[in-house]
Each structure stands twice: as C-alpha cells, then as structure tokens.
Chains A and B, each alone.
Chain A
Amino acid sequence: MNDTERRLALAESILAIKALSHRYSNLCDRGFDPDRISALFVDDGVWDGGEIVGRFEGREAIRTFLAGLAKVVTWSGHFVVNDEFEVTGDTASGLWRCIAVVNNPGVEPPIDNWYFQDYHFECVSKDGVWKFRSIRTDLRKTTGYVPYIAGHAPVIR
C-alpha cells in the first residue's frame, strides 16, 4: 500500500467509525433496538456502564441488557458531538461526547433527565466492516446528569 492508498484507507476508516457511533446512537433512540445494536459489536464485545449500570460481555449479553433497557426507558434522544479518536490500521479507540435526554426509569413518577456523557470506545475492522470491541460509559465519571426541570446548576455525579 503506497502513501496515497494509506491516506484514502484512513479517510474511509474515519468516516466509517463516525457512522458507527451515529448508527449506535440513532438505534438507541429507536427503542434501544437490541438486535441491531448488538450486531454493531464483535462477538466478544463489551458494553460497560460502570457500577451504576453494569458490564455486559458478549453480543448476547449486550442484546439481553438492551432488551431490558427498552422495557423501562420510554424513549430517549442521544446526540453525538465532539468525537475524537485515533485509527491505527484495523483498530481504533477514542471517545464521543453525548448530549442525551432520557426518561428516568428509576423514579415514579418518571422525570426528565439531561445527560452529558462521554462514551469511550474501541473498535476493529474485519473484512472492511468496523464494529465495536467495547463501549465504556460511567455515569459517575461523566460531566453530569441533571433532572431537566431543575436546570443545570445542581449537577449530580
């Protein structure tokens, strides 16, 4: 592969990885589609939500977790911004910031929540298709999440 071919392959990888995070986020907002989201991971992929949400290893465990989440979260909006990542051949790692609005499923009556959350990820390309090896997002270490109606000042960590 000459220098021009490497640059072309890198540009293709960057666009494919951006699309992967966008596809993941859009599917979250279509009822956490368990089959289609879990298919974005490699077979032994990991979704790690930290102590609050839990760690799920393997595509089937991720699918089961998402199916449960879909039953309790009425709906959500995940907006991807500020992604930064490094591509090294057929692997890549980095993060994207997500501004999310989500029904809080753990409170009765439900309340609005506004999340400002970092998603750290690793992904790998096999046969030209990029998939997640892992996604890690820890609510305790994120910028913050707040009950929407209370405003931004009382940030809960």
Chain B
Amino acid sequence: MDGDFAARLRRIEDLEAIRDIKHRYFIALDKADWAGVVRCFTEDAEIDVGLGVQRGLEEIANIFHEVYVKAFDWWSHQASNPVIDITSPTTATGTWELEGFVVTQSPATGLWTAVFYEDEYRCDNGKWLISRSTVVPIFRCDVEVGYTKQRMVGLPED
C-alpha cells in the first residue's frame, strides 16, 4: 500500500470514528449513562452546553447528572448534518445540528430545542474523542406554544 493510499484510507477511518464517538455521546445522554458520556471525552475536555464551561471528566459528569436529575424527566437528542474537517493526524473540528426534546420535572413541560454543536476532536492513543464542545442555541420553546412566539424559553434552573 503506497503512502497516499494509506493516508486516504486513514482519513475515511478517522471521519467515521469521529462520527461514531459523537453518536455514542448522544445515545449515552439519552440513556442517562453518565459513565458512557464521560468515555466520549478526552481527560482535559472542555464543554459549554449553555451552563458555563465545564473542564475535565469530573465536571462534565457532574453537570449532566445534576441537570438531568434535578430538572428533567427525559430527553432525546437527534443529531444530523455533521461536517467534519480533519486538521492534522490527531486533531479535527466538526459542526453538528441537533433537534432535541426535553420534558422538565416541575412544572412538567415539553420543550423542543434546536442547536448547533461546534466541536473539536483529538486522537489520543489511537482513539478519537471529543476535546471541546460548545452548544450554540437556535431555539428552545414550549412544544404547546411554538418557536415563533417563544424563541428561547428558560430552563427550570435559569
């Protein structure tokens, strides 16, 4: 196998590995599998899902656990439109668009949301993981009101 062929094949493998880790992240979130969520990140990962910046695996695990347990009955993440750019043999950037549904605890309300994810990925010891993830909201509304009348409703802890 010549060098160019191997590099092209490696790029495909990298793109699919990055897509896979992001899908695993969303599935783990929807199963409330916090250990599974943490396995998707580098040890020094930073995330901002709209609740301030969380640094490292402990803070990441805590923020999801606390928010979910305190505020939500369930949630569902439908991710689409991934655009991933490999920037070096061990780094990549990516944008995803997501539509999500959330049921809050008190009051029990169905929320409908859409966001962009602006991500960075790093390949540590041969495994691609999320190293940075920032959520950019598009809308978040009460499903019974709609997104024109209520572009960005607050969450229970807001």
User: Chain B: how many interface residues by the 8 Å CB criterion?
Assistant: 24
User: Chain A: how many interface residues by the 8 Å CB criterion?
Assistant: 28
* Residues from chain B with Cβ under 8 Å of A103 in the complex: 148
A127 within 8 A of B: no
Q: Are B82 and A77 in contact (CB under 8 A)?
A: no
Q: Are A81 and B97 in contact (CB under 8 A)?
A: no
* Residues from chain B with Cβ under 8 Å of A78 in the complex: 81, 97
Cβ-neighbour of B78 out of A8, A26, A79 (below 8 A): A79
A17 within 8 A of B: no
* Residues from chain B with Cβ under 8 Å of A53 in the complex: none
Cβ-neighbour of A22 out of B11, B82, B99 (below 8 A): B82
* Residues from chain A with Cβ under 8 Å of B81 in the complex: 22, 25-26, 78-80
Please, how many angstroms separate the alpha-carbon atoms of A19 and B11 in the complex? 14
Q: Are B116 and A99 in contact (CB under 8 A)?
A: no
Q: Are A77 and B9 in contact (CB under 8 A)?
A: no
Contact mask for chain B residues 137-155; partner A; CB cutoff 8 A; 1 contact, 0 none: 0110000011110010000
State which residues 1-41 of A face B: CB under 8 Å. 4-5, 8, 11-12, 15, 19, 22-23, 25-26, 29
Which residue numbers of A lie inside 8 Å of B, CB to CB? 4-5, 8, 11-12, 15, 19, 22-23, 25-26, 29, 74-75, 77-81, 99, 101, 103, 109-112, 148-149
Known contacts A12-B12, A15-B12, A19-B84; 18 additional CB pairs below 8 A are A4-B5, A8-B12, A12-B8, A12-B11, A15-B15, A22-B82, A23-B83, A25-B97, A26-B83, A26-B116, A77-B114, A78-B81, A79-B80, A79-B99, A101-B99, A101-B147, A110-B148, A149-B146
Which residue numbers of B lie inside 8 Å of A, CB to CB? 5, 8-9, 11-12, 15, 78, 80-84, 95, 97, 99, 114, 116, 138-139, 145-148, 151
